[in-house]
Structure 1
Amino acid sequence: MSIDGLSELWGRLFGAQPDPPALLVLVTGLVALGVVLTRVPWRIGRNAITIAHEGGHALVALLTGRRLQGIRLHSDTSGLTVSAGKPTGPGMVLTLLAGYLAPSLIGLAGAWLLGGNRITLLLWVAVALLLAMLVMIRNVYGIVSIVVTTAVVLGVSWKASPQVQAAFAYTGVWFLLLGGVRPVGEMQTQRRRGQLSQSDADQLAWLTGVPGLVWVGFFGVVNLIVLLAGAALLAGPILNGVSLPG
């Protein structure tokens, strides 16, 4: 690639896009909320939350010195990340903590990038993370899920107009922020019915002695706080469009 080509690619990746219309920010948020609240769209979209959830487990396992053995994604939107290492201690606790927090925290990081109008950079970072995760997938459904998701994000980042990129990025970030909250409630519902005895919250309870319900509450509170912080970052174009009296 020539110097001019590299310069163009660098500018495209790290350059800031224009502020999106306030209406786009609002509509994409409503679309994401609709997906989270409705049964069939949520059933489909929840796969993205599972990818983020298992990716969170995997990343923290590596950062805490555990040996990542593989990730599996299932068609019922569940997943499993297997790592080897000491079965107790801070590394295991942090690895378990990461799953339910990861979608919301990834959404917050995305909102920060969008707050700086780095839309293309956000999409390319997403592609890089998905490709890194693909290496550790150990089942066919998981491979297909990651490949399809990566292809969609890459296609939008490379071929779509700036307006379409903005709509796609804002919808995705809103969905991660909003969608990070619902699985916590679903986990507690299953726990209450006795359908999920080995949830992350129950494993944390076994490791720490702190009741599982406390961990469920922790996940919920943190994700709600992150949602509010992310929404504040995303709402910049809307607030900038509001004229104050006087």
Structure 2
Amino acid sequence: MSGADRILILGGTGEGIALASALTSLPGRRVISSLAGRVANPKLPPGEVRIGGFGGVEGLAAYLRENKIRAVIDATHPFARRMGWNAAAASQTTNTPLLRFERPAWMPQPGDHWIDVADWDEAVNVLRGKARRVFLALGRQELAPFTALKDIAFVIRAVDAPDADLAFADAEIVLARGPFKLADERVLLQSRGIDHLVCKNSGGDATDAKLQAARELGVTVIMQRRPPRPDVPKVSDVQAAVDWVRSL
């Protein structure tokens, strides 16, 4: 690579920030991080930042052409399924190299009691008639299916406050951003008498303490498995991504 090659990072994750920090230190690279804008006050990575969608595959392809993007790194959340497929299609259309940076998924450990589900409707069916006090560690935009469970008390943790019109019969809102400490997660589960935890298999270290606490306390975990992603080159550490950029 030569000159000020533009590297587009599809970010919004801790990995995206780490990648931007590493790549901005490389000579001859101009790093642009794109954030979806779903969080009110996101933590911004170094380098240039754009916030908002592209307008689907065609919009992203147009952006890659117009901005002469040399390479794309998809460091979006493992559950950002649409962006992953859009990135693969736009990169193929424009012949732009694409790398997927993906944190390893969590795996159940001895002592865990996990129930895998494909979506939140399935999670609701699992909880119905079995759970009494449930900790929802989800994004605020994914809470609506659980409002159907009127006989369950919920503790809901999110970065931003959920919509006020969500009709939960009994819900406590906890606004917080990870990483979370094991001791604090243990206190949260114990003090609220949580018997079920609902979360996505996001992977990573920032929010896995809740799983350790659930294991210690015998709390059942309803785990949404990851959606399929396109088959593209993939790495799971920053140095491998930096090496990939250097090799272009």
- As a proportion of its length, which structure holds more strand? 2
Q: What is the TM-score of this pair, normalised by structure 2?
A: 0.23
Of Structure 1 and Structure 2, the greater helix share is in 1
Structure with more relative contact order (C-alpha pairs < 8 Å, separation 6 or more)? 1
